[in-house]
Chain A
């Protein structure tokens, strides 16, 4: 079966660092995506990992371990506008994306 797990909710303080974990068990794997989604809006692309290791892009970093079926998204120097849902998605066969339920992050002053 297909299973992608991530925490439902997290809270953090402005200026801090937060790590959002994602574990997956899927029948195929062609890369892992992280998306940000504000309420009522479409997801926006944050990062893509296909090989093991860390990908850094400004305040956002994403890590992948294929052997462990594990990824995390690291957000540094948190800002209030980072309050959103963060979706972990695995790309399987035929370019299909399988999404986790999302992690709602609340950033407080």
Chain B
């Protein structure tokens, strides 16, 4: 159990367009979901923390109007990169914690975003 999926796995978009990435917990209810960004050969940087039914909490330096997060249910969170630019090209990974156990984060497979 504890499987997290992301869709799409890869996306290429043109500069100025918006891209939505979905994160789903397939076999458990996720109390909290996290969104990370990872640039090549660097570690994961937390962007925001998302709880179902409430506004996401963004880390310092992350623009909330550019990276829109919606946590519509206990199994789905979405990240929308608005007006994407080439510098937004990165690997975006979500993770989720479940109600019964909050110490472990289960990671999705990641979404590779390329903005041309």
Contacts and interface: CB of A to CB of B under 8 A. Distances in A.
A97 interface: yes
Interface residues of A, number: 23
B103 A91 contact: yes
Contact of B107 (A40, A44, A98): A44
B44 interface: yes
A100 B46 CA distance: 12
Contacts of B28: none
A94 B49 contact: yes
B43 A42 contact: no
Interface of A: 30-31, 35, 40-45, 48, 50, 87, 91, 94-102, 104
Interface of B: 32, 34, 41-46, 49, 57, 91, 93, 95, 97, 102-110, 112
